[in-house]
Structure 1
């Protein structure tokens, strides 16, 4: 049983990474998809009660926001992996500007998330942490080295 928590500002590749690595094995828990915390809680409850692996595909910028998911997963004996999507603010804003429709996040939204961003640490309850970087030819996953 595995719970995966994504962390990173908008336009850093989180959903694309989910599709490339977890689409066939993990339920996607995403506020973009579910539209409310109530629905998110229903899906989380179903996953933990059914021992279904899941990915929380939200920005999860702060320790406080990640704690909800980590705590619930640990209570149900899930292994918790974190993926921090490392990107410069400039690069993320450029990628965001290439989006259209509802996918385009107002610049102030990206900036507000960036201001709240706290780099995850193992002490939050993660069993594993990884860095992910979006590159032209795909994703690079790096071993956690406790540095930004």
Structure 2
């Protein structure tokens, strides 16, 4: 079973990447969708109990944010895979400004996430790490090289 954890600023393509690569195979766990940590914990617990592959589609900017998911997944023998989304602040703010309604995150929210952004490390417990770029022609997945 796989536990996939996304990391990156808002408006870097995480949800679109989920739809393109995991919609048919993994449950999406997202605070944007579930609206509370309580509901998130219920979904996460159901995936663990039912050995259902899942994707945590949140910003997860720091190691402390990712720790809960990694520890729980490892404890239940899930393979833990991380995808770090290229998080160039200027680009994320530009894409975010093109969003409408509730999809648009207040600028201060993006800036706050950027301030707490830490590059994921294998030492956190990841079995695999990948680097994702969002370009004009879609997503490019690159090999992890520790020098993002």
TM, length-normalised to structure 1: 0.99
1:5 and 2:18 correspond: no
Cα separation, 2, equivalents of 1:91 and 1:104: 14
Which residue in 2 is equivalent to 1:73?
Answer: 73
Cα separation, 2, equivalents of 1:108 and 1:38: 25
Task: Give the unaligned 5+ runs of structure 1.
Answer: none
Which residue in 1 is equivalent to 2:97?
Answer: 97
Map 1:1-148 → 2, pairs under 5 A: 1-148=1-148
Cα separation, 1, equivalents of 2:134 and 2:146: 19
Task: Give the unaligned 5+ runs of structure 2.
Answer: none
Cα separation, 2, equivalents of 1:12 and 1:139: 10
Cα separation, 2, equivalents of 1:147 and 1:82: 15
**Alignment deviations for residues 44-79 of structure 1 (CA, whole Å, 9 cap, x no partner):** 000000000000000000100100000000010000
| Superposed displacement of residue 90, structure 1 | 0.3
Matched pairs, number: 148
| Superposed displacement of residue 87, structure 1 | 2.8
| Superposed displacement of residue 121, structure 1 | 0.4
| Superposed displacement of residue 30, structure 1 | 0.1
RMSD of Structure 2 on Structure 1 (CA): 0.4
> After the TM superposition, which parts of structure 1 deviate over 6 Å for at least 4 consecutive aligned residues?
none
**Alignment deviations for residues 76-109 of structure 1 (CA, whole Å, 9 cap, x no partner):** 0000000000131000000000000000000000
